[in-house]
Structure 1
């Protein structure tokens, strides 16, 4: 986790510096760019802070050792459903909802139940039917 939070710390410093430079360059008359850069810096600080906090709780990982080998982190990273159709339905319903933000709210209202059904279906896929755990 140390590499990750250092990366987000560097991104935070970069975004703050570029935000200040952008503000000075535009003489603070065009605030949208500077505000966007400062908000991006804030998000980088939040993510970096969370990763630093998590790194303190977990301790060092094999990735954090500069002399570590690739074989130190081998093994399973989790279970990924090989034959699930739910991610496809979730992506399509999410696309409908986000398209509705551009086209009209009626499409958002139409897509939200589809998005909820897809999310619940994917989460509870292995709790019912032939794949029940």
Structure 2
């Protein structure tokens, strides 16, 4: 994950530098500067995620030139078999987005459903152990 962290860090630095230069040179266009800042933040979040995974788990077999195929064998992670929470989250987002157009009351209902969906996805398997044997 170190290579990915450095790659996305470079992307974030590029968009950050571009946002600064664009903000200085285009005094009348805050929308472009905001879009470049958002692009910088997205690259920085992915870079941070990859760096934290590298720090926590170390080098993967794919990162080592001397690794054997058998080093990458075994279970990788836990993938949930089924869940209703993504559908609830999507419905909440749709209702909240519609509420932006039609009124605050619908937006508040959508945010409530969206919050319940996100909460359900995050804590659906909270009591489960890591699944790793050894």
Which residue matches 1:130? Answer: none
- The runs of 5 or more residues in structure 2 that have no matched partner are 128-134
Cα distance in structure 2, aligned partners of 1:93 and 1:16: 32
- Residues 1:96 and 2:95 are matched in the alignment: yes
Please give the per-residue CA displacement for 1:44-82, whole angstroms capped at 9, x wherever unaligned: 335424533442343212232245466543433213123
Give the SS at the match of 1:41: helix
Which residue matches 1:7? Answer: 7
Contact 2:13 2:40 survives alignment (8 Å):
yes
More helix by share: 1
Which residue matches 1:86? Answer: 85
Cα distance in structure 1, aligned partners of 2:26 and 2:113: 47
Cα distance in structure 2, aligned partners of 1:75 and 1:19: 44
Shift of residue 110 of structure 1?
1.9
Which residue matches 2:63? Answer: 64
Cα distance, 1:13–1:111 mapped onto 2, change above 3 Å:
closer
Which residue matches 2:109? Answer: 110
Give RMSD over aligned pairs: 3.3
Cα distance, 1:41–1:97 mapped onto 2, change above 3 Å:
same
Contact 2:91 2:113 survives alignment (8 Å):
no
Following TM superposition, the consecutive aligned residue runs of length 4 or more in structure 1 with deviations greater than 4 angstroms are 66-71, 119-122, 124-127
Q: Report how many residues are paired.
A: 125
Cα distance in structure 2, aligned partners of 1:101 and 1:124: 29
Cα distance in structure 2, aligned partners of 1:70 and 1:103: 56
Shift of residue 27 of structure 1?
4.0
- Compute the TM-score of the two structures, normalised by the length of structure 1: 0.64
